[in-house]
Amino acid sequence: MSSGYIQARDEPGPTEILQALRQALSDNSRLKGGAPTEEIATQLILGGYLREKPSLTLVEEMLEVLEVGGLGLRSPTLQPCSFEFFWDDDEGGLGNIDLSMSIEWVGAPDIWEERTVPEKLTHARTPSCTDLISDPAGILRNTEHWPIHVCGEEFLRQSTELWAQTQAFMADTLNIYRWASMHPLPIGRRALMLNRQVVDLSEWSEVFNVLPFEEYEKAVWALRVEVEGSLASRSVLDLFGLAEYPTDYHQEFGIPIGGDLAYVLRGRRGRDTSLTDLVHNAERWWSQFRGRALRGRPRGSGTWKDADEFREAARNVVGMLRERGYKPTQERVAEVLDCNDRVLRYWIKRYGLNWNDILKAT
């Protein structure tokens, strides 16, 4: 929910605080894992990351955005593909690293089945999926470089966050980053209006101004291609892999599948066919993953043996969060259990448990 905080004139804004937090958390590991907001805010001044004292409310809000957000919001630099990051040249493969729940690949079994990354991926070089973020035009134009897998955090979520943060906003507001941290990313006005993070929909005004669609569109990935030139001849192509929720089950538990390709082309539409060709190539590449649930199997969304196992797991997470200084909300507990708060409430109700009893028992 929106805090209702109004920034004072001389206080650092959300972007400045976000950049300072990124650097401070990278430089000082002691600040990670639940350090009090007051201590973090003090270190931002003592460490020279900010010149003016920040609002504790805004620091706490931005810490929550960083916690919810993926790799794009955690770092100003592009994080590499999982295969690229974990690859061991000496062993000629991934070694003992299991990526079966964090990536999707061409021909992968359903997320609810037992999954093992095939040998052709673990013992042979595969095109990096994050190259699509750094060079979308170059990769899409060369079929030999098309990734045959996609990483959940490094490509899917990171691409939407980085795309969102490059939009031309008129003002610097906290809700810009709230929106950028959502995944799938609402790129239609009606989709964002359904989100309950703010009380007054007018607080989304800055985001509404940059959304490319009007309806319920959400993106599981987003890429931008720009063709440089004069202001009059500049072209921009935005590509989106849409999320779909085909059944009541997918809708209730927020499990998206890969849907249609959507795009917005601005600029020399009639004089430059190169970007139109990219749309066709993107459609062909994305068709390999459409119809698939692009996430690993959540441990907490249907694998509990009984009520006792679920209750014990929830209590352990609540205790861990409190030890690290976090308030044990249902959203935070669900995140640690690899599900969402709706799934968590489903199992609480199914097993006849009470959330307050879980909190009191720890």
Would 287 be classed as within a structural domain?
A: no
Q: How many domains does the chain have?
A: 3
Q: Kindly state whether residues 35 and 92 are assigned to the same domain.
A: no
Is residue 301 predicted with pLDDT exceeding 50?
Answer: no
The more confident residue out of 249 and 1 is 249
Is residue 192 predicted with pLDDT exceeding 50?
Answer: yes
Domain finish residue from 68, 86, 104: 68
Q: Kindly state whether residues 115 and 261 are assigned to the same domain.
A: yes
Write down the pTM of the prediction.
Answer: 0.76
Instruction: Using pLDDT thresholds of 50, 70 and 90, give the confidence band for residue 76.
Output: low
Would 61 be classed as within a structural domain?
A: yes
Structure confidence at residue 231 (pLDDT) = 54
Q: Kindly state whether residues 117 and 99 are assigned to the same domain.
A: yes
Would 100 be classed as within a structural domain?
A: yes
Would 293 be classed as within a structural domain?
A: no
Mean pLDDT of 44-49: 91
Would 301 be classed as within a structural domain?
A: no
Any residues with CB less than 8 A from the CB of 34 and at least 6 apart, and which?
321, 323, 324, 325, 326
Mean pLDDT of the chain: 84
Q: Please tell me the distance from the alpha carbon of residue 340 to that of residue 334, in angstroms, as a whole number.
A: 5
Structure confidence at residue 268 (pLDDT) = 63
- How crowded is the C-beta side of 361, counted as CA atoms within 13 Å? 13
Q: Kindly state whether residues 148 and 31 are assigned to the same domain.
A: no
Structure confidence at residue 271 (pLDDT) = 56
The more confident residue out of 283 and 322 is 283
Q: Kindly state whether residues 23 and 158 are assigned to the same domain.
A: no
Q: Kindly state whether residues 226 and 353 are assigned to the same domain.
A: no
Would 300 be classed as within a structural domain?
A: no
Structure confidence at residue 298 (pLDDT) = 43
Would 288 be classed as within a structural domain?
A: no
Mean pLDDT of 3-30: 77
pLDDT in tens, 237-257: 999 999 999 887 677 767 789
Provide the domain limits for residue 169: 77-282
